[in-house]
Amino acid sequence: MIYFKLILTAIFWGGTFIAGKLISHNIDPFAAAFIRFFIASFFLILLTIKIEGHLPRLSPAKTGIVFLLGLTGVFSYNLFFFSGLNYIQANQASLIIAGNPIFISLCSVIFFKETLNLTKSIGICLSVTGALIVISNGNLFNIWELKIGKGELLILGCVASWVAYSILGKKAMNDLSPIVSVCYSSIAGTLLLFFPALFKGVFSNITSYQPLEWASLFYLGFFGTVLGFFWYYEGIRQIGPMKASIFINFVPISAMVLSFFILKEPLTTSLIVGAIFVIAGVYLTNTASFKK
């Protein structure tokens, strides 16, 4: 069941690119991020109370970890992501972000002593290659022509934020459940996003948002955050950050599939080939663990 949830999480996160595109012309990125996590925090508080019976109190040590989760996975991720997109195209940013599983796997080996055998290594390489095929439209050799500039460095900060979020999440769930971890990190991130959003005029412009934009914001908050983050954390707890992070490679593929049906963008051969590579990589990585 957890693998099915992780696939749905990737689909939900792929859909956030569609929702983000629908609101990009009228809503500032920081304002959108703040409203997204404000909505998410509201539902996460209700969900936490329903599951846990109450909103647990945090010890000083856990408060610090939760703050770091909000700082990395919510605030800094969005800060680096939206700032980086001011300098480079979305496909270049996606190409860099596709390296998330590699860095998470390496950190898992270092910090959690997870094994990285030959089969897992091949699986990771296949899944990442598949994501790169999709993002580069089959022109893998063009990857080496990309120049490293300010935008690329900002997106690398985005990668570092997500790696830190995944690793810290594993540590946080030694004592906290996935829903509590996600809830408090979302609240922390919302508070941290408040001032950038305020500076960008979130409250003065909020009355101009259209129904489709509000629907997109709700999707980002509930499906892209509440369900997405909760299920991703469940995956980290049950199968570890290395294997859970592999499913991130489905995100650009799901985004392009949804773009085909919703935005009428073409379904290319590179998308199909990339999907085969990603699925093969996920299969190899997880069957290697089942045989241990």
The tens digit of pLDDT for each residue in 233-245 reads: 788 878 887 777 7
pLDDT over threshold 50, residue 292: no
Considering the entire predicted model, what is its pTM?
Answer: 0.77
Above pLDDT 70, what percent of the chain?
86
pLDDT over threshold 90, residue 42: yes
More confident position, 38 or 99? 38
The tens digit of pLDDT for each residue in 182-204 reads: 899 999 999 999 998 999 889 99
The DSSP-derived string for the chain is -HHHHHHHHHHHHHHHHHHHHHHTTTS-HHHHHHHHHHHHHHHHHHHHHHHHSS-PPPPHHHHHHHHHHIIIIIIIHHHHHHHHTTTS-HHHHHHHHTTHHHHHHHHHHHHH-----HHHHHHHHHHHHHHHHHHTTT-GGGGGG----HHHHHHHHHHHHHHHHHHHHHHHTTTS-HHHHHHHHHHHHHHHHHHHHHHTTHHHHGGG--HHHHHHHHHHHIIIIIIHHHHHHHHHHHH-HHHHHHGGGHHHHHHHHHHHHHS-----HHHHHHHHHHHHHHHHHHHHHHT-
More confident position, 287 or 66? 66
114-142 average pLDDT score: 76
The pLDDT assigned to 290 comes to 47
